[in-house]
Copies of this chain bind each other. A is one copy, B any other.
Amino acid sequence: MTVVLKLGGSVVTRKGEPETVDEEALDRAVRAVAAVAPDDLVLVHGGGSFGHPAAEHHGVSRSDGTHDAVAVCDVHRAMVRLSEAVVTRLHGAGVRALPVRPLSAGARDAAGDLSLWPGSVETMLAAGFTPVLHGDVVADVDRGATVVSGDELVAALSADLSAERVGLCSAVPGVLDDAGEVVPRIERFEQVADVLGGSESTDVTGGMAAKVRTLLELGVPASIFGLDELGAFLSGETPGTLVEA
């Protein structure tokens, strides 16, 4: 059973402090993964205070690209530094983690659609490793190179690997309603459109509205939960908000 788990950039890094790992949060996440990792676990993490400042500095986003190779490598290396921190801690906890770089395994066509080759991830899983992907830059036929978010990778991996469960470990305990309570289940976007800003919201930052819309299209049960519930999710429970169309 393949499980795709994303550790949010805001969970594993200190937002606002450039290139700073949240050591305590990352250690908790790593301990949870080491304790109850399913057989076929694919990890993805976001950019947090590593990728986002570098991408902003160079004016690169999912829609705005650059043909400057130095800028591309600058953003990529920032994300590799975070990935190395995550992978090294996983090794320390006995998890056989291997990095997969979206810049090498992915690309965008002229329509901006992402191709992500699943071959290395599949083979790593078959050989007993735990692949670790991350938000990154990818070559883009028309725009040079553009950003690929962790959420976009989760969607691509979920489809390509026929994942049975998807988890997004975020800085909040789930999708919250007007009263600040976790919405236990979302089957249609309209259920939460009011509280998330509506389906017309131009949410380009990977915020909650975009996450929910992406997850509703997966065709796979997806949970959004906080770090406190990561162990429960990995044990097979559905903490936080379950998103399933």
Contact = CB atoms under 8 A, between A and B. Distances in A.
Interface string A126-145: 11111000000011111111
Q: Size class of A's contact patch?
A: 35 or more
Contacts of A207: none
Contacts of A106: 119-120
A183 B169 CA distance: 62
Interface string A99-115: 11111111111000001
A98 B73 contact: yes
A204 interface: no
A70 B129 CA distance: 11
A122 B109 CA distance: 10
B67 A96 contact: yes
Given A91-B69, A119-B115, A127-B67, A139 B98 contact: yes
Nearest to A131: B139
A210 to B, nearest CB: 24
B127 A103 contact: no
Nearest to A116: B119
A163 interface: no
A21 interface: no
Given A73-B87, A117-B105, A117-B117, A127 B99 contact: no
A60 interface: no
Contact of A127 (B97, B123, B140): B140
A71 B70 CA distance: 30
Nearest to A133: B104
Given A91-B73, A99-B103, A144 B128 contact: yes
Contacts of A119: 106-107, 115, 117
Nearest to A124: B139
29 contacts: A67-B129, A69-B98, A69-B129, A69-B130, A70-B91, A72-B129, A73-B87, A98-B103, A99-B104, A103-B104, A103-B120, A105-B105, A107-B120, A107-B122, A107-B123, A109-B123, A115-B119, A117-B117, A123-B138, A123-B139, A123-B140, A123-B141, A126-B139, A126-B141, A127-B139, A127-B142, A128-B144, A129-B144, A129-B145
Given A73-B98, A117-B119, A129-B139, 5 more contacts: A69-B130, A105-B120, A106-B120, A107-B124, A117-B120
